[in-house]
Structure 1
Amino acid sequence: MTDDKGRKIAWITGASSGLGRALALRMAREGWILALSARRAEELAAVAAEARSLPGRILPFPLDTVDAQAAEATVRRIEEELGPIDLAIFNAGTHKPMLGTEITAESAAKLIDVNLKGTVNCLTAVLPRFTERQSGQLVFVASMAGYRGLPTSAIYGATKAGLINMAEALQPDLARHGIKVQVVNPGFVKTPLTDKNEFPMPFLMDVDEAAAAFYKGLMGAKFEITFPKPFAFLMKLLRLLPAGLALRLTAKAIPKEQSKTAET
């Protein structure tokens, strides 16, 4: 659906900072009408203010995606105020690097709630509208961490692998209903989330460069969108290796001081 100026409407979750914010501003420059959701209302308002001189429009719709009823109410409000959503980008997520000895039920639950449960809440809020209209585009933001188990990413990687699996399962099914499904698997992008990492991040990508690659992928026909390409190649190669060899390689990514502790 488009507004009276022919502009399409997109909903992006997790859009107050990082890649979601950069993508929203990129899309506003392309003339999109954007409904942005995140928990931090003041940061959403700041993004909207930054876009005032751009061809598109950004409007904030604060939301904690873990709340299923709030997600449904937010989608209803967006469509009442802006019109039918054409594109839903499930970008809300969180990350906390944890070695196996550091995992607690509480820390794991937070990652699972935000990365998986929150995505499902948003999906189920928007999907009936897409199926009724027999159109729409669903985009799941996962990660290359979902390709293989990596040290410090046991819970995070599991949630992202779950999103990849979810998108793969939905694509052939929803294609019959005229709905385009894509999964985005970024590598390391310079954002507040990757700032938490205390290890070298190969091919670390500028967030605006990543947003440009993201948007290009959205406009294309490929199911999977990856960036940066060299790192995607290496991670896909790692996924194809025999488990024993892959585990010996990933063991080298354990922080040195932690690996010494593990050996004693």
Structure 2
Amino acid sequence: MSAMLDPRSLTVVVTGATSGIGEATVRRFAGAGAQVVVMGRRKDRLEALRDELGARILPVELDVRDAAATEAAFAGLPAPFADYNVVFANAGLALGLEPSQQASLSNWDTMVETNINGMLYTVRACLPAMVARKEGHVVLTGSIAGEFPYPGANVYGATKAFVKQFSLNLWADVAGTGVRVTNIEPGLVETEFSMVRFEGDAGRAQKVYAGAEPMTGADIAEQVFFACTLPRHVNINRIQAMPSRQTFGNMTVRRD
């Protein structure tokens, strides 16, 4: 049986690294000895991670919705962080839960710009170097919303369906190059996700998780860590996980 990869041999780039699943993933890899590039929009949180976790952390302020800035961020990484071999394109968000006929076009635009365009810009910026080095792992953050619809998910769910299919097509492109691709598809995870979705309404956000024993960012980080430390001849295409109290809903029947 092939040995698991030594995390101390990994240089990991995480977008959306300042909270939730991204931050937990930074802590998981850094705690195991990996070097981690932390990318996000909140400079103070990036620097706080570096101050806490030490010299293995490189903070890079970045909005992944800016294609040129994303390209420059990857191209400008200094040694020894330039030879990254894991990129976790994690930046994303949900906004609103209104039905499509009432939803904000601005919210729709922001979700597409972040969850689709930002993810694409990240992958396109990092991929050529990993293919050239014949070593790498691209990890994407999908969602069960990309497979199972629910009222109000409209564009959010559609963006995550895009992530799911892109991850499979990306794997078809890079298979045999030494680059692996994994899509992480969580169910209910208690992070800042609902606070963002409901524009800071803490009471409404808390109701999403009340009594449900949701997963945590650390639970998802462990899944990312597992996929990325498996022997290089093994590719995990998708990891879909739910808390034990979440399952599939019945089909809705609207009756007069």
Shared fold, TM over 0.5: yes
Contact 2:187 2:242 in 1 (8 A): yes
Contact 1:79 1:85 in 2 (8 A): no
Contact 2:143 2:160 in 1 (8 A): yes
Distance 1:137 1:217 in 2: 9
Aligned counterpart, 2:179 = 179
Contact 2:46 2:61 in 1 (8 A): yes
Contact 2:8 2:34 in 1 (8 A): no
Q: 1:36 aligns with which of 25, 34, 38?
A: 38
Distance 2:105 2:150 in 1: 19
Aligned counterpart, 1:57 = 56
Contact 1:203 1:228 in 2 (8 A): no
Distance 1:210 1:172 in 2: 25
Distance 2:130 2:252 in 1: 41
How much does 1:102 deviate?
A: 2.8
User: For residues 158-177 of structure 1, what are the structure 2 equivalents within 5 Å?
Assistant: 158-177=158-177
Code of the residue aligned with 1:182 in structure 2: it is: T
How much does 1:80 deviate?
A: 4.7
Distance 2:77 2:63 in 1: 15
Does 1:204 find its partner at 2:218?
Answer: no
Identity of counterpart residues, as a percentage?
Answer: 25
Aligned counterpart, 2:251 = 246
How much does 1:121 deviate?
A: 0.6
Aligned counterpart, 2:4 = none
User: For residues 122-161 of structure 1, what are the structure 2 equivalents within 5 Å?
Assistant: 122-161=122-161
Aligned counterpart, 1:19 = 21
Stretch moving more, 31-40 or 133-142: 133-142
Aligned counterpart, 1:47 = 49
SS at match of 1:177: coil
Distance 1:150 1:228 in 2: 15
SS at match of 2:188: coil
Code of the residue aligned with 2:242 in structure 1: it is: P
Aligned counterpart, 2:67 = 68
Q: 1:225 aligns with which of 204, 216, 239?
A: 239
SS at match of 2:76: helix
Aligned counterpart, 1:89 = 88
Contact 1:14 1:37 in 2 (8 A): yes
Q: Which runs of 4+ in 1 moved over 3 A?
A: 195-203, 228-232
Distance 2:124 2:220 in 1: 28
Gaps of 5+ in 2: 1-6, 199-203
Stretch moving more, 159-168 or 171-180: 171-180
Q: How many residues align?
A: 235
Which of the pair has the greater relative contact order for Cα pairs under 8 Å at 6+ separation? 2
Distance 2:95 2:241 in 1: 21
TM-score by length of 2: 0.83
Code of the residue aligned with 1:228 in structure 2: it is: M
Aligned counterpart, 1:256 = none
How much does 1:231 deviate?
A: 6.4
Contact 1:13 1:37 in 2 (8 A): yes
Change (3 A) 1:19 1:69: same
Distance 1:209 1:178 in 2: 27
SS at match of 2:190: coil
Distance 2:8 2:16 in 1: 26
Stretch moving more, 65-74 or 98-107: 98-107
Q: Choose between structure 1 and 2: higher helix proportion.
A: 1
How much does 1:81 deviate?
A: 5.4
Q: Cα RMSD over matched residues?
A: 2.4
Code of the residue aligned with 1:35 in structure 2: it is: V
Contact 1:14 1:92 in 2 (8 A): yes
